[in-house]
């Protein structure tokens, strides 16, 4: 067991990529696409975190079963 740093790093890198693409889209005058990109980025990260939390709760549930 331990902290899974890969998930944290994956979310951070994905956030940086979305931020850079958002800036590029805004500078090119495509604010609508930039907003959609951010929304999709948040959804993808939320699914990643939900999957990670599900694994965490499964581990906790298995640990406390006698």
pLDDT, tens digit, 9 for 90 and up, residues 22-32? 999 999 999 99
| Residues whose CB is less than 8 angstroms from the CB of residue 11 and which lie 6 or more positions away in sequence, other chains included | 45, 48, 49
Q: What angle do CA 18, 24, 25 make, to 5 degrees?
A: 85
pLDDT category, 40, cuts 50, 70, 90? very high
Question: What average pLDDT is seen over the chain?
Answer: 90
Measured distance CA(8)–CA(56) in Å, rounded: 14
Measured distance CA(31)–CA(5) in Å, rounded: 33
Q: What angle do CA 48, 50, 54 make, to 5 degrees?
A: 120
């Amino acid at each position: 067991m331990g902290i899974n740093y890969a998930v944290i790093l994956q979310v951070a890198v994905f956030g940086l990529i979305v931020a850079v693409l958002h800036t590029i889209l805004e500078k090119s005058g495509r604010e609508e696409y930039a907003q959609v990109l951010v929304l999709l980025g948040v959804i993808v990260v939320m699914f990643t975190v939900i999957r990670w939390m599900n694994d965490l709760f499964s581990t906790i549930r298995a640990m406390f079963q006698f």
